[in-house]
């Protein structure tokens, strides 16, 4: 039996492309398990259900190898465990075909290892590029991260309250802002004054 698995990293991302590919590959929608969590997260209930459901002779079908895990070690461990149980893995859209359910195809095994390595390498490079971009933006005085959702007039009111000697507890009560928000937006505030 083919067991499908699809994953996106956030709830805002769309699974349609992966689900369509699994359906085209003949995977019964009743046997498709999904997660909307980062691959770095170990608690992925959809994957755990798919792995539990898989029996000897079954094939776990994924759109691309990186849907299974974020690191080479985790992915190799998963494939090794599945192989020992007689379960194969097949990818649908990787540039190198992977189908570990056919042990007579050594190129499939090699492709699997190469794609896992390239996937981890690309994630490392992407993280380095993002860190560099944040450092450059910070050095140029630009704020990075999510835009603030706090109204400027509320922050100004909080700053005036702090300047007049109000405690953090009083400011949070009067403005409705959380302590963490005050510490983030008004860095001059010391944590000693409660």
Residues acting as catalytic residues: 9
Residues 21/23/24/26 CA torsion (nearest 10 deg): 130
**Pick from 83, 112, 76: which is nearest to 96 by CA?**
112
**CA–CA gap between residue 88 and residue 86 (Å, rounded):** 7
Q: Are 111 and 94 in contact (CB under 8 A)?
A: yes
Q: Which residues contact 89 (CB under 8 A, 6 or more apart)?
A: 59, 60, 61, 62, 68, 79, 82, 98, 99, 100, 101, 112
**DSSP strands (E only) in 16-168:** 32-36, 59-62, 88-91
Q: Distance between CA 124 and CA 148 in Å, rounded?
A: 28
What's the count of helices (H) and strands (E) in the chain, helices before strands? Answer: 7, 4
């Amino acid at each position: 039996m083919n067991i499908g698995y699809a994953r996106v990293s956030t709830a805002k991302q769309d699974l349609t492309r992966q689900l369509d590919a699994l359906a085209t590959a003949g995977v019964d929608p009743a046997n498709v398990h999904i997660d909307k969590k980062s691959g770095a997260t170990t608690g992925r209930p959809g994957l755990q259900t798919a792995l539990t459901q898989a029996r000897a002779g079954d094939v776990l079908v994924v759109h691309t190898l990186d849907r299974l895990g974020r690191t080479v070690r985790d992915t190799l461990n998963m494939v090794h465990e599945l192989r020992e149980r007689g379960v194969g893995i097949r990818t649908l859209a990787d540039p190198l075909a992977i189908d570990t359910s056919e042990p007579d195809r050594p190129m499939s095994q090699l492709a699997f290892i190469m794609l896992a390595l390239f996937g981890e390498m690309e994630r490392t490079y992407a993280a380095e590029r993002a860190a560099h971009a944040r450092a450059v933006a910070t050095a140029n005085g630009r704020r990075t991260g999510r835009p603030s959702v706090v109204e400027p007039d509320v922050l100004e009111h909080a700053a005036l309250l702090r300047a007049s000697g109000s405690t953090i507890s009083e400011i949070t009560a009067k403005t409705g802002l959380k302590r963490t928000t005050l510490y983030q937006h008004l860095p001059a505030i010391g944590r000693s004054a409660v």
